[in-house]
Amino acid sequence: MIFNHRAFLSTLIVLFSFGPFFPSIAHPIPDLPVFGSFDDNGTSKILIEIDPRGFAEDPEAESFLTTDILNDLNISERNDLLEQATELVEESLLIRLNEEPWNLPAFEYGFSKPRMVEFSDDPIILLEATAKLSRETNSTYQIKAKESAPLDLIFANRLNGVPHRRVNVLFPGEESFALRLPQLKSLQHFSDENVSVASKLTNPEQNDYVNADTWSTFASFLRQGFLHVLPLGLDHILFVIGLFLLSRKFKVLIYQISIFTLAHTLTLGLATLGLISVPSTIVEPIIAASIAFVALENIFFPTYHPRRLIIIFVFGLIHGLGFAGALSDLNLNPSILILSLIGFNLGVEGGQLAVILLSFIGVYRFKNEDSYRKGIVIPLSLIIAVLGIYWAIERILNG
């Protein structure tokens, strides 16, 4: 095998075109959920749940804050966590009631009660920021993600304890829709699955309300799914590139992408709906190892064989579990959860197709297959394999 330094440099340029080298972060800490709770008796509250791993430069390499870890922290260390939570909230969002100026209410910060989640074998603790709101009659409520927000915000609300249909995923600089609180009191029944189709057809206001909620939520999670691949999901990007590098033949590529999509769609759906649960300490090292495996296959087994589809299917199941955290623990309206899942998954598929398209663009000038293999496939597969092996070892040691 002849190593071409100029080709290797070109390979690095192609790799960097998909984004900077992040640490071993697999899929970023799920967005910052901002839960509004509004009751007919006038009680109004905002709850923000903060995973303290998000304070780290490489969140996926950090351990969850479990009850045992929290008990081992002294007062100073606990206060430091609460101070970091305060800084995160202050740099992340503003709220507005009844078209008044944007502001940040007085939040109280503390630790949540221990809870079991699918990503940890032990009860974990989250940081909580809570604020009570004084709202007027006919008020509206909305939030804005500040330009300095390090995480995306999820705008989700409950009325009289019932999850509201409409959910927004906000990126830095964006505003949520304005939640009209008195209107919700009379329109909340529109979210009930028991409302008849005939009723929806004969009530234009109700029909427009439901359609607006449906489209807004679907579009939010569609975009979030895309961004969870491109540019945020570096390991997912490298896995897809690894599939691409085996062969540029359309048929082979379709086979691989289709089986991978089927697999991760299956486990993403099952995990999001709470039907399966696998700790991240198992999922994340396997995801990293899968990257290295397909890259090494490209080097040592360059000819397509149907057995590769079985391997891709198994790895696809694991990648789906890696994505599941994006929709977990949001306590969404059941129908909206399904809609969000569909939108998020379609966004993921869009991100994958974008990676494939960019890959084609990056290597289109290599017409000769022998030059393409020596100049692109082998060097790039080596880089991907090294990254995958490094991440796998790091995640095992930090798990």
143, pLDDT greater than 90? yes
Residue 199 domain-assigned?
A: no
Residue 107 domain-assigned?
A: yes
Give the integer Cα–Cα distance in Å for 74 and 58. Answer: 24
Assess whether 118 and 154 both reside in one domain. yes
Residue 214 domain-assigned?
A: no
For residue 82 the two structure tokens come to 């609460």
- Domain span including residue 352: 5-25+228-398
Sheet holding 179-180, edge to edge: 93-97, 140-145, 179-180
Assess whether 267 and 388 both reside in one domain. yes
pLDDT digits (tens, 9 = 90+) for 326-335: 666 565 666 6
6, pLDDT greater than 50? no
Number of domains in the chain: 2
Write 195-201 long-range contacts (CB < 8 A, 24+).
none
Nearest residue to 395 (alpha-carbon basis) of 263, 235, 238, 242: 235
393, pLDDT greater than 50? yes
Assess whether 308 and 177 both reside in one domain. no
User: DSSP E strands: which ranges in the chain?
Assistant: 32-38, 44-50, 93-97, 108-111, 127-132, 140-145, 153-159, 162-163, 168-170, 179-180
Residue 267 domain-assigned?
A: yes
More confident residue, 268 or 324: 268
Assess whether 252 and 329 both reside in one domain. yes
Residue 243 neighbours by CB distance under 10 Å: 27
Assess whether 235 and 182 both reside in one domain. no
pLDDT for position 367: 85
* Mean pLDDT (whole number) for 278-287: 84
75, pLDDT greater than 90? yes
Q: How confident is the model at residue 187 (pLDDT cuts 50, 70, 90)?
A: very low
Q: Tell me the one-letter amino acid at 73.
A: L
pLDDT for position 295: 95
Q: How confident is the model at residue 358 (pLDDT cuts 50, 70, 90)?
A: very high
Instruction: Kindly list the distances between the CA atom of residue 203 and the CA atoms of 180, 187, 245, 286, 371, in Å, as whole numbers in the listed order.
Output: 19, 12, 54, 51, 65
Q: Are 139 and 18 in contact (CB under 8 A)?
A: no
Give the integer Cα–Cα distance in Å for 167 and 217. Answer: 5
Q: Name, of 248-257, 288-297, 339-348, the range with top average pLDDT.
A: 288-297
**How much is the mean pLDDT over the chain?**
80
* Mean pLDDT (whole number) for 18-44: 65
Assess whether 127 and 150 both reside in one domain. yes
Give the integer Cα–Cα distance in Å for 385 and 155. Answer: 39
pLDDT digits (tens, 9 = 90+) for 206-257: 444 445 567 777 887 888 888 888 877 888 899 999 999 998 888 899 899 9
Q: Say if strands 153-159 and 32-38 run parallel, antiparallel, or are unpaired.
A: parallel
Q: Are 65 and 126 in contact (CB under 8 A)?
A: yes
Assess whether 157 and 86 both reside in one domain. yes
pTM value surpassing 0.85: no
More confident residue, 346 or 328: 346
Assess whether 133 and 240 both reside in one domain. no
268, pLDDT greater than 80? yes
Domain boundary pick from 191, 210, 245: 191
Residue 223 domain-assigned?
A: no
Assess whether 12 and 72 both reside in one domain. no
